Amino acid sequence: MTTVQPKTFLKDSVAFPFCKGCGHHHYVHNLDRALSSLQLDPKKVCIVSDIGCIGILDSLFVSPHTFHTTHGRSTAFATGVELADGILNDSKLKTVVVIGDGGATIGLLHVVNAALMNVDVTVLVANNMLYGMTGGQHSGFSPLEFITPTTPEGNIVPPMDICAMIKSCGAEYVTSISATDKNLTNVIADAIAHPGFALVEIVELCTEFAIGNNKIDGKTIQAMAEQHNAATLPATFKRKEFCEEYKSKVLGHPSKIKNDALTQRYISSLHGTRRWVIAGTAGEKVQLSSYLLMRAGILCGLHATQKNDNPVTQGSGFSLSEVVLSSEEIYYTGIDVPDVVIISSAEGLKEVTANGTISRSNKQTVIIMEDSLPEITTSARIYRVPLRSMCTPQRATTSAVAAFIARELVIPIEAIVDSIQMHVGEKVSLYQDDIKKLLPLLS
């Protein structure tokens, strides 16, 4: 099917909503000419705008898709559109972000991230150096000494150079140009045609708020654009567009996740619920030992839950796990009175003391703890054993779990050995040796 290219993408004889003399007139006409000159199918063009005077240009366009978004966020929405187009679809869409300097100040991170990614989005920043729609407040782009309603004594904060900033993000097509520059159509067209991120700063005048109090005219604007355009565009572009990169390096690669479905192999004599608390030091496989216990229970057809706790830094301080095993579906997942508590280090003891595990233990509770730790006061039955020296700190909690299972025989010892072996392979013999050594100490 041949698509007839329109001469203009704009509505017929529509009045522009901009103030007389506003640079946005040039911006809109040049964007329209650029789209026409590229002979794009309007169905493959999306104009993404947001809040501000320039943002309402979406109502002027008749044929391209328009996506009028929230203030400053247009580049983020456009990135989403392009990711879905470039990776999930045919990648034929051209997405153009229309944003003011106010919007670019608010949503700078979105522009930065699109530039870092090098996603195929063209951002056309209409820089008139202030927020025009909301009363002429200064923006992050207002020059020093610029007088606005919010800087009546002149702006005392220097403006950002969006081009320099975005170039530092690795964007290759970045340039600045005056809204009245005769080359504007070509620059916009080149930017849109560029197969990756592109940014054009279009420097303009706000006739309503910038003129009068400020000595500013076409020459000043031209000079500003040239200053921001100090580095010329490269002769060749080296970066691969993000979606292309994603498709070649990420998409469709085989899953690394193994099939971890479990089959019941053993029978447990447990009727009811067993609640375990295992505490030790981060990095000493405390949470792994809980996982292996949980898996042993499931290998026996039991239901199981596991909850972990550790400080926010994860790799330091205590590590704690709670495991509930039950012959019935587990509803309540907390532990009021623990059945078994294993403590392998001072950090673990501190935590089970602080969180009330010890004080909530009773005569039914069995506590297996490292024998070098201080005495604790509880009605629970305590076994003090040299877990760390006998089993090494890394195996301490897992071997203690396995030894207690071997002593109690509610879960067959084969189930926990099997579970450990599924994780460590032949090294399971080290744990079996630990169990032999620990077992006499738990009688």
Residue list 3-62, contact with another protein (CB under 8 A): 42-44, 46, 48, 56, 58-59, 62
**165 sits near another protein (criterion: CB under 8 A):** no
Nearest to 401 by CA among 305, 318, 285: 285
Among 2, 13, 153, 260, binds another protein (CB under 8 A): 260
Nearer to another protein, 186 or 305 (CB): 305
Return the residue matching tokens 């506003």: 22
Nearer to another protein, 64 or 132 (CB): 64
Least distance between another protein and beta carbon 84 (Å): 4
Nearer to another protein, 293 or 390 (CB): 293
Contact 115, 166 (CB under 8 A): yes
Joined together, the tokens standing for residue 63 give: 């044929």
Cα dihedral: 64, 70, 75, 76 (round 10): -120
Among 113, 222, 378, 392, binds another protein (CB under 8 A): 113
Among 79, 142, 151, 176, binds another protein (CB under 8 A): 79
Measured from the Cβ of residue 17, the count of other Cβ atoms closer than 10 Å reads: 12
CA 363/CA 366 separation, integer angstroms: 8
Binding part of the chain for another protein, among 21-29, 247-255, 405-413, 431-439 by CB under 8 A, reads: 247-255
Binding part of the chain for another protein, among 110-118, 344-352, 384-392, 425-433 by CB under 8 A, reads: 110-118
CA 430/CA 399 separation, integer angstroms: 9
Binding part of the chain for another protein, among 76-84, 155-163, 344-352, 384-392 by CB under 8 A, reads: 76-84
Write the single-letter amino acid at 79: T
CA 399-382-307 angle, to 5 degrees, is 55
Say which residues have a Cβ less than 8 Å from residue 360's Cβ, sequence separation at least 6. 335, 336, 337, 338
Among 4, 15, 235, 250, binds another protein (CB under 8 A): 250
Q: Kindly write out the interface string for residues 280-299 of this chain, putting x where it contacts another protein by CB under 8 A and - elsewhere.
A: -----------x--xx--x-
**270 sits near another protein (criterion: CB under 8 A):** no
Least distance between another protein and beta carbon 29 (Å): 21
Among 263, 313, 377, 443, binds another protein (CB under 8 A): 263
Contact 169, 115 (CB under 8 A): yes
Least distance between another protein and beta carbon 252 (Å): 6
Q: How far is CA 7 from the centre of its chain?
A: 42
